[in-house]
Structure formats: structure tokens, C-alpha cells
Structure 1
Amino acid sequence: MLLGDVAHLRTGDKGETSQISVIAYDPADFALIARTVTTKRVAAHLAHLPIRTATRYELPALGALNFVLEGALAGGVTRSLALDAHGKTLGAQLLDLPLEDAA
């Protein structure tokens, strides 16, 4: 099972920081998401990025986690030479995170 099977996301970026909010489709799946989608696993899944710090905020009433990835956008969206290295692309990559490996 992949993260995208049980959750969708919203993203944003400011400067070189990307924010990815992972939101459970079904509130019953929030515990699984909270247990398996850790900052360590997110950083490892996006290891090709120059992430300096990854911070996770839990919003259980919304069934969501918000990840703030400082440095992920390599100097900022407008300064990066990478093609479409914005939050939406990073979020799409994160939806491919396997959940079985961490259970």
C-alpha cells in the first residue's frame, strides 16, 4: 500500500522551504499515517533534495500531518535550475511512499 492509497495532499512553497500536508481520506487511517509517515522516512524518500531540516506537525482533528522541509527547493523556486521542483511535484513523489515497510 502506498501513501497515495489512503491520503491526498496540499502543498506550498516559500523561498527554499516546501510544505507538504498529508491528509487522510478516511479519519480512521490517520493513526496509520501518523505512525508510518515520519520525518526520517520523508527525508529518506526525498533524499535527492538538499533538505536541511524536516519538521512534522500533527493535526489529528483534521486527520493531517504537515511537513516543513527547509532547504528542499535549493535556494528557492525562482532561483532553482531544476525543472518544476515545486511543492506539488514533491508532494506527488511523497504519495509513492510505501506504508508497509514501516508498519
Structure 2
Amino acid sequence: MSRTVPLRQIATARAGDKGDTSNIAVWVRDPADYPAVRRGLTAERVKAAYPALFRGQVTRYDLPALHGLNFVIEKGLEGGVNASLNADAHGKSFSFLLLALDIELD
């Protein structure tokens, strides 16, 4: 029987930024949940979930030995901290956006 949960219930995340590129690492708490997160949290899904924010290419790197996924998001910071008029142009808060997505568990 499968169930759907917000990613934040089964994982943590940490984000950073450099220029106009954001980096988000997602770490699954229970290794048994890693395959479901890997299956459900694709680069395409991340980009599609926030098209107004993530305007460039989204690349996912799998870290199976650490039960993690790392996303590199290009053109996601309105030009970067120094170039944006956005009050929070840093990518730090993007980890919370990913943690809000639902994941289907087996």
C-alpha cells in the first residue's frame, strides 16, 4: 500500500548559491525511503514545480551512498545577490520549496 507524504517528513535539505546558480542538497533520513525519493524527485519535476523561480536548467546528481540528491539550478536567482532587486535573492530558502513537494512512498 502506498502513501503520499511531504518530503520534509522524510528528508532534510540544505541550499546555497553562487552568482545566478542555486545548489540544493536533499538528504533522506531513512535509507529505505531513498528509492522512492529518487524516483519521485526528478530534475524535471523540480523545474516544473517552480517555473517562475527556476528558469534555467536543473541538473540532479545522485549520491546513493549518502542517500542524497543534489540539484544544481541555473538562472534561479534573478541574476544573483548583487544583481537582483528581490529582497531574498539568495538560494538559501529554496530548500524549503523542495521539502514542500509530495513524495509517494511504497
Same fold (TM over 0.5): yes
Tell me the C-alpha RMSD between the 2 structures. Answer: 1.6
Aligned counterpart, 1:41: 45
Q: Deviations over 1:9-62 (max 9, x none)?
A: 111100000000010011111111100000111001121115210000000000
Aligned counterpart, 1:82: 86
Query: Of the candidates 6, 24, 32, which is equivalent to residue 20 of structure 1?
Result: 24
Query: For the structure 1 residues 50 and 62, does the alpha-carbon distance in structure 2 shift closer, same or farther, using more than 3 Å as the test?
Result: closer
Q: Is the 8 A contact 1:23 1:64 kept in 2?
A: yes
Provide the identity percentage: 48
Q: Show structure 1 runs of 4+ deviating over 4 A.
A: none
Q: Which amino acid aligns with 1:31?
A: P
Which residues of structure 1 form unaligned runs of 5+? none
Which residues of structure 2 form unaligned runs of 5+? none
Aligned counterpart, 1:53: 57
Q: Number of residue pairs matched?
A: 102
Of structures 1 and 2, the larger Rg is shown by 2
Cα displacement (A) at 1:85: 3.0
- State the TM-score, normalized to the length of structure 1: 0.91
After alignment, is 70-79 or 83-92 more displaced? 83-92
